[in-house]
């Protein structure tokens, strides 16, 4: 059985790490007996985190968040997991094949696309809701006042 080490790199306070992603997705070599390794690389996790931040930035009210200043660690974890599961669903569709030899039950290779896509869609809904709630809360907490244009008119 292969041993996989993950280098430890200091991360910003709200940034999630590959280790945290692996824990959330339960992606351990010992728990992947068919693969005998982890399913996702640290580079794929880094890309997923970046894409989750990009996705959050285009949800209405546009923002310029980065992974280092993302407002909520849990929301970022959900968004990154959503991206990586959707990406894996794409790969599974592209490589899906079923083999059968004689009277043996057919064996599917990369035939879990629907499961990955279903998990991805559930996480995507949660992520959009979380990010939208965060943005609404940030807008409500802005100091100052908003004057009504009607209140600025003089009536005679």
pLDDT along the chain (156 residues), means of 10: 53 80 94 86 96 97 94 97 96 78 73 91 98 91 61 55
Q: Is residue 65 part of a domain?
A: yes
Q: Is residue 8 part of a domain?
A: no
Structural domain boundaries, residue 81: 18-98+108-138
Q: Is residue 116 part of a domain?
A: yes
Q: What is the pLDDT of residue 151?
A: 56
> Buried b vs exposed e over 38-66: b needs ≥16 C-beta within 10 Å?
bbbebebbebbbebbbebbeeeeeebebe
Q: Is residue 7 part of a domain?
A: no
Split into its structural domains, the chain has a count of 1
Q: What is the pLDDT of residue 7?
A: 52
Q: Is residue 145 part of a domain?
A: no
Q: Is residue 131 part of a domain?
A: yes
Q: What interhelical angle do 18-25 and 73-95 show, nearest 10? A: 70
Q: Is the Cβ–Cβ distance between 43 and 91 less than 8 Å?
A: no
CA count, 13 A, side-chain hemisphere, 83: 20
Helix (H) or strand (E) holding 99: strand 97-99
Q: Is residue 44 part of a domain?
A: yes
Q: Is residue 70 part of a domain?
A: yes
The model's pTM: 0.76
Q: Is the Cβ–Cβ distance between 49 and 9 less than 8 Å?
A: no
Q: What is the pLDDT of residue 150?
A: 58
């Amino acid at each position: 059985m292969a041993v996989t080490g993950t280098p430890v790199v200091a991360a910003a306070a709200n940034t999630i790490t590959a280790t945290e992603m692996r824990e959330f997705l339960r992606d351990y070599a010992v728990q992947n007996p068919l693969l005998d390794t982890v399913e996702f690389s640290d580079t794929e996790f880094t890309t997923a985190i970046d894409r989750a931040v990009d996705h959050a930035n285009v949800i209405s009210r546009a923002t310029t968040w980065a992974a280092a200043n993302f407002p909520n660690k849990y929301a970022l974890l959900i968004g990154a997991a959503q991206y990586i599961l959707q990406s894996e669903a794409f790969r599974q569709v592209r490589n899906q094949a079923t083999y059968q030899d004689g009277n043996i039950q057919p064996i599917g290779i990369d035939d879990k696309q629907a499961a990955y896509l279903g998990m991805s869609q559930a996480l995507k809904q949660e992520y959009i809701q979380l990010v939208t709630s965060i943005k609404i809360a940030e807008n409500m907490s802005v100091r100052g006042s908003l004057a009504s244009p009607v209140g600025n008119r003089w009536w005679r």
